[in-house]
Amino acid sequence: MGSARPAVVIGAGIGGIAAAIRLAAKGYAVTVLEANPYVGGKLTAFTDGGYRFDAGPSLFTAPEKVDALFCLAGENPRDHFNYRRLDEVCRYGWPDGTRLTASADPQQFARAAQDVLGVPQAKTLALLAKAKRIYGITSHVFLERSLHRWQTYARWPTLLSILRLPQIDGLRTLHRANAAAVADARLVQLFDRYATYNGSNPYRAPATLGVIPHLEFGQGAYFPDGGMHQIPMALVALAQRMGVQFRTDSPAEQIVTEGRSVAGVRVAGEVLPASVVVSNADLVATYRNLLPQVQAPEGLLAQEKSTSGLIFYWGIRAQFEAMGLHNIFFSGDYRSEFEDLFRRKTIPTDPTVYLNISSKYQPTDAPPGCENWFVMVNTPHDSGQPWDTLIAHTRQRVLGKLSSALGRPIEPLIATEAVLEPRLIAQRTSSYGGALYGNASNTPLAAFLRHPNRSGRVRGLYFVGGSVHPGGGIPLCLQSAQIATDLVPGP
Ligand code: FAD
């Protein structure tokens, strides 16, 4: 690296790791400071009594964004990181006993929706076609570039996309659009649920979020060999081969500025000099804790936050043929569920339950004859709720719901148990209130106008990760790293 200019990345979440790789590829000498003893942020894993659990994300889409990082370094991704495309997106269940397996093939999915729910195939296919259309329009404008520099708007693809903006359906809610498209309340609920992929409320979020099904049905859902945790593991190894230094157990204390430029990062009382600093810490934590000398964008910081989550990791002494990798058990009253989450700010009394079983794809994740259950319900972000009581009640409700859906008492089958909840998510990742995706996208403006990836106040300061543009979830965090580092000048 010799005389390469130093850059510091604060946080080894997926956005920070990707930014470090991209800066190293540009020729910077990169140090990543991570507060935790481990890398990966929300993308972490653990083992418990012979069961392996991915603690955070379980749905992997847009794997080409991970591959791109290997290609940037001149490596073949297949030598280091592999994945399989899923034939089946999710198995859905409703309280009335209806079961629908969503094939990844749109035609098959639409046929199943017709057979099981009585929805004409053409209606389901039209919703998927609309998702594809919105993706075609929005990806150029909102997802792949900085919205905060004029050059973005001076490109033909962007101008064409802007001309087509009326087609993205930004003025009505996702629920209203879905309900207008199909009559069956169960299929509406299935398509409404996509708002939760970025922690939002389908009864308030713009119908533009109807783009999300395209990620699963158009581009595909995947399972990484070795599980989700392989994503940060393979990328950290790549970064290290490129010379990136990772310092774990090293919380950054302050972003040091001189005049209007960054000068470095204070860690363990010493200043690490840097001409480029990338913060992968949550936006609120970055301004409040690391940049007290800079005026914070209070309006953005005060915006409504996305949902958080309550996850039970259960080692289960049995196998369930009827379950797949991704399973959803819907609530009976979806509107009331979101009223609980966003207005009453409590865990819904009848929550929709997500069950992920990675041992379906990777049998070594559980002992023979057993399964590793990741059982998640959405929760509000932490604002001082009586969590211990709420969690105890929810545990009983979830067990009741799963036991009746699967026709067998589940509690006696639990061999190991661990719990993740909003307070712990906040503590372990700096995310405000444990919100999983930064600000909620519950208004058209909030959905698209997130904090820019480059600071307008401090030269040399950049932002990546789920709390800034273009948003939360692995693909968008990877995208934020690309947008941010494209704005960084060569060393
Ligand atoms: P984060 O993962 O938020 O990490 C930030 C890192 O910065 C942390 O390691 C933290 O310790 C570190 N840090 C903070 N402050 C400092 C400091 N001062 N000094 C040093 N280090 C610091 N996404 C999907 O795509 N699919 C899913 O299925 C999915 N499911 C999810 C389920 C759960 C339970 C959770 C928790 C999240 C899920 N997500 C999912 C969201 C996804 O995990 C996140 O959007 C993404 O991982 C966030 O990455 P990030 O780059 O913002 O960094």
How many other CB atoms sit within 10 Å of the CB of residue 269? 6
Looking at residue 169, its pLDDT comes to 77
Cα of 276 vs centre of ligand 1, distance in Å, is: 22
Among candidates 201, 261, 224, 246, which has minimal Cα distance to 61?
Answer: 224
Cα–Cα distances in Å, from 132 out to 124, 139, 214, 256, 478? 13, 10, 5, 44, 21
- Amino acid 145: pLDDT: 58
Atom of ligand 1 nearest to the CA of 285: 15
Q: What percent of the chain has pLDDT over 90?
A: 87
pLDDT of residue 449: 77
The token pair that represents 473 in the structure block = 């979830």
Residue 6 has pLDDT above 60, yes or no: yes
Instruction: State the Cα–Cα distance between residues 52 and 44, nearest whole angstrom.
Output: 11
pLDDT given at position 490: 84
* Region of poorest pLDDT, from 41-50, 82-91, 145-154, 402-411: 145-154
Residues comprising the chain, all counted: 491
What is the pLDDT at residue 1?
43
Atom number, ligand 1, closest to the C-alpha of residue 252: 19
pLDDT of residue 67: 98
pLDDT, average across residues 240-247: 98
* Dist. CA 207–CA 157, nearest whole Å: 22
Task: Tell how far the Cα of 417 is from the centroid of ligand 1, in angstroms.
Answer: 22
Residue of higher predicted confidence among 160 and 423? 423
Structure tokens at 9: 């990345």
Average of pLDDT values for 459-464? Answer: 98
Per-residue pLDDT averaged across 262-281, rounded? 98
Closest ligand 1 atom to the C-alpha of 376? 34
Q: Ligand 1 pocket check: which of 42, 248, 381 to mutate, most ligand atoms within 8 Å of Cβ? A: 42
Ligand 1 mean position, distance from CA 164 (Å): 33
CA distances (Å), 484 to each of 90, 124, 305, 324, 462, in order? Answer: 33, 37, 23, 37, 6
Determine the atom of ligand 1 nearest the C-alpha atom of 61: 25
The answer to whether residue 404 scores a pLDDT higher than 60 is yes
51-90 tens-digit pLDDT: 999 999 999 999 999 999 999 999 999 999 999 999 999 9
Structure-token pair, residue 467: 């709390």
Lining residues, ligand 1, CB within 6 Å: 10-16, 33-36, 41-43, 56-59, 251-252, 280-281, 285, 290, 309, 311, 425, 429-431, 436-437, 465-466, 472-474, 477
166 alpha carbon – ligand 1 mean position (Å): 33
Q: How confident is the model at residue 458 (pLDDT cuts 50, 70, 90)?
A: very high
Model pLDDT, residue 164: 60
Percentage of the chain exceeding pLDDT 70: 94
For residue 444, the model assigns a pLDDT of 77
Distance 174 CA to ligand 1 centre (A): 26
Q: 300-359 pLDDT, tens per residue?
A: 999 999 999 999 999 999 999 999 999 999 999 999 999 999 999 999 999 999 999 999
Query: 142 Cβ partners below 8 Å, 6+ apart?
Result: 448, 470
Which of 90, 430, 468 has most ligand 1 atoms within 8 Å of CB, for mutation? 430
Distance (Å) of CA 64 to CA 44, 67, 69, 81, 118: 21, 5, 9, 11, 36
pLDDT digits (tens, 9 = 90+) for 129-185: 999 998 888 776 666 655 555 555 455 565 555 556 667 777 899 999 999 999 999
Q: What's the CA-to-centroid distance between 297 and ligand 1, angstroms?
A: 22
- Give the angle subtended at the CA of 27 by the CAs of 17 and 224, to the nearest 5°: 30
- Strand order across the beta sheet in which 245-247 lies: 245-247, 29-33, 6-10, 276-279, 461-463
Ligand 1 pocket test: which of 429, 437, 485 has the largest number of ligand atoms within 8 Å of its C-beta? 429
How many angstroms does the Cα of residue 106 sit away from the middle of ligand 1?
Answer: 31
Please provide the average confidence, as pLDDT, over all residues in the chain: 94
Q: Whose CA is nearest to atom 52 of ligand 1?
A: 465
The number of beta carbons lying within 10 Å of the beta carbon of residue 415 is 16
* The pLDDT of residue 116 is above 90: yes
